[in-house]
A and B are shown apart, each in its own frame.
Chain A
Amino acid sequence: MKTLSTLFKNNIREYGMLIALIAIMLFFQFQTGGILFKPVNITNLVLQNSYVITMALGMLLIIVSGWIDLSVGSVVAVVGSLAGVLIVRYNVDWVVTVVICLLVGAAIGAFQGYWIAYLKIPAFIVTLAGMLVFRGLTFVLLQGESVGPFPVGFQKISSGFIPDIFNYPGFHMTTMVIGVLLSAVLIVLDMRARKNQQKYGFEVTPVYFSVIKNVAITAAVLGLCYLMASYKGIPDVLVLLFVLITGYAFITSTTTIGRRIYAMGGNEKAARLSGVNTPRLLFYTFVNMGVLAALAGLIVAARLNSATPNAGDGMELDVIAACFIGGASASGGIGTVIGAVVGAFMIGVLNNGMSIVGLGIDWQKVVKGVVLLVAVLFDVYNKNKNV
């Protein structure tokens, strides 16, 4: 059996990240005089970061593949403006518009992916071009002005909450029930995984560690649900995020597709000579990114309730930073979905906390840059120590 300290050493990246996130949250909770953990602010935190997290999922796959996508901020803008033009100017039904926009996102991804995967142009160049092209097209579509407002149904994409079936006054009971159910499911899954590991004779963590872990997770889930239940309940966007995060975590960690992406990023030639169709895999990685960027574009447009030419400006940097803070390697082959999500939250909490404290946008950028550097330094230091 492993001792706690070796366990910690082997997973120092994951635990270090979480501890840093919690420390930052506590710091701002203190600095803001308790505003950070107010129910309304926690809900806001989720809503504000939903698009960064959505795109971080796609970006992680691209970074693990060994490439980068600089165009996502512009894709957010062009898809948002397309939605605005279709819905507001041409009165297209918003559901139809959402479907069209996601397809357009896929097409954008396919276009860029084709240049990168089959014509072998470096992604940095292709997506830098894409960044300019799609930002330009946004201005063309919107003719330089904002388009809005959107119908209520569309707005609900980012501002809707799950319905409460209990109608308990002042408290969103459904949210709490979901929290309890989710905690129970997580505990059962963890116990089953443990049993499985024991059955096959693999090393398992000590029982007390497992108990501590489950108590901590349950407390976090219930605490979060309680806070959100005290406001308006679980936002629709959070449900969407939950589905996406679990889905992508599953794909990357336990499917053949995920395994092949990591192999491709680790050594493209070796993967190809092992029968992995690397051009096709890379192509679809970019298609996937296009769809997720389009989804993020819709969420942004719905949240602003208008399509503006500058939507998503600079967002690619937050998304990329989230992946690197979360432990992804710039040379490919390394990185996890959970890491990227924690990285995105880190950036989100920093943005949110610093705004509440009243730190100017100028210094906010400085702080974010330093955090990115320190996180990567931490990685490099750890890597050298382990060799």
Chain B
Amino acid sequence: MSDVILEMRNITKIFPGVKALDNVSFSVRQGEIHALVGENGAGKSTLMKVLSGVYPHGSYSGEIYFQGKECKFQDIHHSEEVGLVIIHQELALIPFLSIAENMFLGNERAKNGVIDWNESFSKTKELLDRVGLHELPSTLITNMGVGKQQLVEIAKALAKKVKLLILDEPTASLNDNDSEKLLDLLLQFKAHGISSILISHKLSEVNKVADSITILRDGTTIETLDCQKDKITEDRIIRGMVGRDLIHRFPPRDSKIGETIFEIRDWNVYHPLHEDRKVSNNINITVRKGEVVGISGLMGAGRTELAMSIFGRAYGTRISGTAYKNGREINISTIDKAISNGIAYATEDRKAYGLVLIREIKDNITLANLEAISDGGVVINEPKEMTVTSEYRDKLNIKCSSIRQLAVNLSGGNQQKVVLSKWLFADPEILILDEPTRGIDVGAKYEIYTIINRLASEGKGIIFISSELPEILGICDRIYVMRDGKIVGEMPASQASQEIIMKHIMTEQEVMA
């Protein structure tokens, strides 16, 4: 077949004790966008590492043909030479260098080791135009948003004369607007004959741009779906990913909503560096017992900033406003006061802010409430600690070899469960969950939703922050919409839909439902 640009045949890759890829075959046609989907650990990234030469020829079995020729890549430079460029989830840009310097890093426009800046800058300008990024080539990477950085990475790939572009979760940290732009760019490339492989958890965007979809599960190819022939639904993809019909993506719950348990009034927060910038503007929020309250909005709308400012002023300066619990004003001016007043905040960035990765699971679970497992509040009672943390392991179904395993060795979903365990052990009455399902697979998401439902049924008040609208609609009782640090909408979930929420997010005038 002449229109096949890439063919991987019978790829098997074995790590000590684990067969990560088992006889996987995968092919991409010239000029198509081919999506690669699967749960975490299904083998998507491993397959792409085999393809790009991160795992050199010889460390796996099977054959790779690119443009009809067999390839035996020894390293990533090797694969880039033939026009195969991979863009990883974690961007590989140097923050304190300019766009132009990053663009030609390791590939400098130079004569005898002396860089030709004029050529570098003008070439950079050209490449930036091609990806539709209007920035000066001398702009430092650190001064740009993630969305723009992603575009720089793509321009960098173009500089290498890319024929097949591989994107590993490119939109994971982009807002809807930037994601949209990026996907449009892929479609543009397609028109110019550049093929792409898109790895993504976001099925809606897969559906939007992909010409074919290959589903991996447990290291094997399940199927390849052709999107041009028939319309593929998200449910159809999910069925392939999890191997069963996931009839309910959200566990059912019947809400028993009680009195108002938590309330903040006239809450104002300023940016810690740009001190005249308001990141929370006159916010009023109430949460009732047994209620799951969603906060929706784009990235940068100020949701995390609001949550962290409530949690003991962990973010922002010149914070004003009052907080009430069960109708009485409470002091939440420091994190330990917030915790002792029954407030907990599970962060959106569990690796940077949620876990001490190099410590054991049990140490992480008890960290926010060490007094409860210590004699006299000082000497840790280890048997008690082991018993307590084992209970949480069983209750939240944390998959680990031992409660003494280091947190760093857990999968994303299980790490998230450790973070949740920590806050459950602190026994809060109000729990703020910031993107609790980010980057974890469908199965683990379902488990997290179940935990949230159980907490609500125990009478706790839950604030649920998420960028994924289906999720907000699926598990919340009531939804606030935030834009530019303001609450721009509030509605019961029963009256909400994706369209209504998006309208609130996008339109300028404040509509109250």
Chain A positions near chain B (C-beta within 8 angstroms): 196, 199-200, 202, 254-257, 259-260, 262-263, 266-267, 269-277, 333-334
The answer on a CB contact under 8 Å between B357 and A275 is no
Asked, given contacts A202-B386, A256-B370, A269-B353, whether A263 binds B363 with beta carbons under 8 Å apart, the answer is: yes
| Docked CA distance A202–B335 (Å) | 35
Asked if B314 contacts A256 (CB within 8 A), the reply is no
User: Judging by beta carbons under 8 Å apart, are A256 and B358 in contact?
Assistant: no
B251: interface (CB < 8 Å): no
**CB-defined contacts of B1 to chain A, threshold 8 Å:** none
Tell me, rounded to whole Å, the shortest Cβ–Cβ distance linking B499 to chain A. 36
A262–B359 contact, CB under 8 A?
Answer: yes
Q: State in angstroms the CA–CA spacing of A86 and B75 once bound together.
A: 68
Question: Contact check: which of B352, B353, B355, B377 meets A256 at CB < 8 Å?
Answer: B377
Q: Which residue of A lies closest to B335 (CB)?
A: A275
Question: Could you tell me the distance in whole angstroms from the C-beta of B421 to the nearest C-beta in chain A?
Answer: 12
Chain A residue with Cβ nearest B345? A273
CB nearest neighbor in A for B409: A387
Contact A263 B356 (CB under 8 A): yes
Contact of A270 among B353, B377, B380, B387 (CB under 8 A): B353
- Which residues of the other chain, A, contact B452 by a CB distance below 8 angstroms? none
A259 to B379, CA, bound (A): 10
How long is the Cα–Cα vector from A255 to B357 in the complex, in angstroms?
20
Residues of A within 8 A of B48 (CB): none
Minimum CB–CB distance from B157 to chain A (whole Å) comes to 29
Q: Which of A254, A273, A277 contacts B314 (CB 8 A)?
A: A273
Q: Once the chains bind, are A259 and B363 in contact (CB under 8 Å)?
A: yes
**In chain B, residues 298-357, which have Cβ atoms closer than 8 Å to a Cβ of chain A?**
311-312, 314, 334-336, 338-339, 345, 347, 352-357
Residues in B neighbouring A333, C-beta threshold 8 A: 356, 358-359
What separation, in Å, do the CA atoms of A259 and B372 have in the docked complex?
Answer: 14
Select A267's contact among B338, B357, B426, beta carbons within 8 Å: B357
* Cα-based distance from A271 to B335 in the complex (angstroms): 11
Closest 9 CB pairs of A and B: A266-B356, A274-B368, A200-B383, A256-B370, A275-B336, A267-B356, A274-B367, A275-B339, A266-B358
Given known pairs A196-B383, A256-B378, A263-B363, the reply for A271 and B356 (CB within 8 Å) is yes
| B367–A272 CB distance below 8 A | no
- Name the residue among B334, B357, B370, B371 with the largest chain A CB count within 10 angstroms: B370
Q: Which residues does chain B contribute within 8 Å of A272, judged by CB atoms?
A: 314, 335
How many angstroms from the CA of A273 to the CA of B352 in the assembled complex?
A: 11
Which chain B residues (355-402) contact chain A, with CB distance < 8 Å? Answer: 355-359, 363, 367-368, 370-371, 374, 377-380, 382-383, 386-387
Q: Which chain A residue shows the least CB distance to B346?
A: A273
Q: How far is the CA of A260 from the CA of B336 in the complex (A)?
A: 14
The answer to the question of B201 belonging to the interface, with a C-beta cut-off of 8 Å to chain A, is no
**A273 contacts B347, C-beta separation under 8 Å:** yes
- 6 CB-based A-B contacts, threshold 8 Å: A200-B383, A266-B357, A266-B358, A267-B358, A272-B335, A333-B359
Instruction: Please measure, in the bound complex, the distance between the C-alpha atom of A202 and the C-alpha atom of B353, giving whole angstroms.
Output: 31
Determine the residue in chain B with the shortest Cβ distance to A387. B409
Contact B387 A200 (CB under 8 A): yes
Contacts of B426 in A (CB 8 A): 275
Highest count of chain B CB atoms <10 Å: which of A200, A260, A267: A267
> Which residues on A sit within 8 Å (CB–CB) of B356?
262-263, 266-267, 270-271, 333
How many angstroms between the C-alpha atoms of A254 and B363 in the bound complex? 12
* CB-CB nearest in chain B for A254: B380
B486 within 8 A of A: no
Q: With an 8 A cutoff between CB atoms, is B438 at the interface?
A: no
Most buried by A among B339, B345, B368: B368
Is the CB of B483 closer than 8 A to any CB of chain A?
A: no
Residues in A neighbouring B358, C-beta threshold 8 A: 266-267, 333-334
Contact A263 B359 (CB under 8 A): yes
How many interface residues does B have (CB within 8 Å)? 34
Q: Are A255 and B378 in contact (CB under 8 A)?
A: yes
B374 CB to nearest chain A CB (Å): 5
Minimal Cβ-Cβ distance residue in B for A260: B370
Assuming A255-B380, A260-B370, A275-B339, is B386 touching A270 (CB within 8 A)?
A: no
Contact B359 A266 (CB under 8 A): yes
Q: A267-B358, A272-B314 are in contact. List 17 more A-B contacts (CB 8 A).
A: A196-B383, A199-B383, A202-B383, A254-B379, A255-B380, A256-B374, A256-B378, A266-B356, A267-B355, A267-B357, A269-B352, A270-B356, A271-B356, A273-B314, A273-B335, A275-B426, A277-B334
Cβ–Cβ < 8 Å partners of B13 in chain A:
none
Q: Chain A nearest CB: distance from B447 CB in Å?
A: 22
In whole angstroms, what is the CA distance A202 to B403 when docked? 11
Cβ of B44 within 8 Å of any chain A Cβ, yes or no, is: no
Q: Which residue of B lies closest to A278 (CB)?
A: B335
Residues from chain B with Cβ under 8 Å of A270 in the complex: 352-356, 367
Q: Using CB atoms, name the residue of chain A closest to B356.
A: A266
Please, how many angstroms separate the alpha-carbon atoms of A260 and B378 in the complex?
11
Please give the distance in Å from A259's CB to the nearest CB on chain B. 6
- B422 CB–A CB distance under 8 Å: yes
Query: Complex Cα distance A200/B387, Å?
Result: 9
A200 contacts which of B339, B386, B422 (Cβ < 8 Å)? Answer: B386
Contact partners of B377 in chain A: CB under 8 A: 256
Complex CA distance for A200 and B389, rounded to whole angstroms: 14
B371 touches A256 (CB 8 A): yes
Given contacts A200-B386, A259-B363, A259-B370, contact A273 B378 (CB under 8 A): no
**B245 CB to closest chain A CB, in angstroms?**
38
Instruction: Write the nearest CB–CB distance from B290 to chain A, whole angstroms.
Output: 25
- By a CB distance below 8 angstroms, the chain B residues around A269 are 352-353
Chain A residue nearest to B385 in the complex (CB): A259
Interchain CA distance A255-B378 in the complex, whole Å: 5
Compute how far the CA of A275 lies from the CA of B345 in the bound complex, rounded to whole angstroms: 11
Rounded to whole angstroms, the CA-CA distance of A202 and B390 in the bound complex is 12
Which of B367, B370, B377 gathers most chain A CB within 10 Å? Answer: B367
| A334: B residues at CB distance < 8 A | 358
Bound Cα distance from A267 to B422, whole angstroms: 15
Residues of B close to A266: CB separation below 8 A: 356-359
CA distance A270 to B350 in the complex (A): 8
User: Min CB distance, B313 to chain A, in Å?
Assistant: 11
Residues in A with CB closer than 8 Å to B345 are 273
**B79 vs chain A, min Cβ distance (A):** 25
- Indicate the member of A262, A266, A277 with the most B CB atoms within 10 Å: A266
Q: How far, in angstroms, from A196 to B387 measured CA to CA in the complex?
A: 13
Candidate in B339, B378, B387 with the most chain A CB atoms within 10 angstroms: B378
* Cβ of A196 to closest chain B Cβ, rounded Å: 7
A196: chain B residues within 8 A (beta carbon):
383
Nearest-CB residue, chain A, relative to B359 = A266
Measured between beta carbons, the chain A residues less than 8 angstroms from B355 are 267, 270
Q: Given A256-B377, A267-B356 in contact, is the A274-B386 Cβ separation under 8 Å?
A: no
Is the Cβ of B336 less than 8 Å from the Cβ of A271? Answer: no
How far apart sit A256 and B387, CA to CA, in the bound complex (Å)? 17
Residue of B nearest to A262 (CB): B359
Q: Are B378 and A257 in contact (CB under 8 A)?
A: yes
Q: Could you tell me the distance in whole angstroms from the C-beta of A43 to the nearest C-beta in chain B?
A: 35
- How far is it, in angstroms, between the C-alpha of A196 and the C-alpha of B386 when the chains are bound? 13
The answer for the CA separation of A289 and B382 in the assembled complex, in Å, is 28
Q: Complex formed: what's the CA distance from A26 to B314 in Å? A: 55
- Across-interface contacts of B367 in A (CB, < 8 A): 259-260, 263, 270-271, 274, 276
Closest B residue, CB atoms, query A200 = B383
Find the A residue at minimum CB distance from B334: A277
Q: How far is the CB of A191 from chain B (nearest CB, A)?
A: 16
Interface centre among A196, A199, A202, A269 (most CB of B within 10 A): A269
Q: How far is the CA of A259 from the CA of B368 in the complex (A)?
A: 11
A334 to B380, CA, bound (A): 19
- Set of chain A residues within 8 Å of B386, measured between Cβ atoms: 200, 202
- Residues on the A chain within 8 Å of B347, using CB: 273
For residue A197, which residue of chain B has the nearest CB? Answer: B383
